[in-house]
Amino acid sequence: MCLGSYSFSQIIDVNPTAIPVTSALDFSYDASGNQVKRSFRSLIIVGPKTEAQDDFLEHIQLFPIPVQNELTIKWDNEILGKIFSIGIYDHNQLKYFYKENLNNNDSQVSVNMSTYNSGLYIIQFVLSDSRVYSKTIIKK
C-alpha cells in the first residue's frame, strides 16, 4: 500500500488578448489517484526594486499600516489614469482583491480587509503600459 499525495500544476494563460497574466491550475491527488484538491492561482513575480519602481511607488499612499479593517490605496495626480489594475495577494499568491479598468478620475480605492487573516499581503499595480509594481503590507 502506497501512502502519500501527489500534485501537479498547469500554467495557463487566462486572458490572451489583454495584459498577460500567468496563472496556475493546481491539482492534488491521494495515493489512490483520487483528486482531493483543485485550486487556481495567479503567479506574481517580484524582482529587485528599480529606480523607476521607487519613483512610481513614491506617488502611492497605503494607509493605515498595519491594516486592521479597511485599507485605503491612494495615488496622486502624477499617475492618475496610468493604473490598469490593482490586486491584493497573500504569500501563497492567492488573489484576495482585484479591480481593473479604473476610472481615469479615480485617485483612491478602499478595500475591506476585516475578514482577511493576519499576515503579509502583496499589493500589485499593473499599469496601462503593462509594467508591474508591488508593495508589501501587514494585516493585523
pLDDT for 87 = 93
Is the pTM higher than 0.75? The answer reads: no
Q: How confident is the model at residue 16 (pLDDT cuts 50, 70, 90)?
A: very low
d(CA 40, CA 85): 19
| Structural domains of the chain, with CATH | 5-42 (no CATH), 51-139 (2.60.40.3080)
- For residues 3-28, give the mean pLDDT: 50
Q: How confident is the model at residue 7 (pLDDT cuts 50, 70, 90)?
A: very low
pLDDT, tens digit, 9 for 90 and up, residues 95-138: 889 998 887 778 999 999 999 999 999 999 998 888 889 999 99
pLDDT for 23 = 58
pLDDT for 15 = 42
pLDDT for 5 = 46
**Over 66-128, what HEC string results?**
CECCEEEEEECHHHCCCEEEEEEEECCCCEEEEEECCCCCCCEEEEECCCCCCEEEEEEEEEC
pLDDT for 95 = 86
pLDDT, tens digit, 9 for 90 and up, residues 30-76: 888 888 887 766 555 555 555 555 688 999 999 999 999 999 999 99
pLDDT for 48 = 54
d(CA 69, CA 111): 8
Checking if the pLDDT of 8 tops 50, the result is no
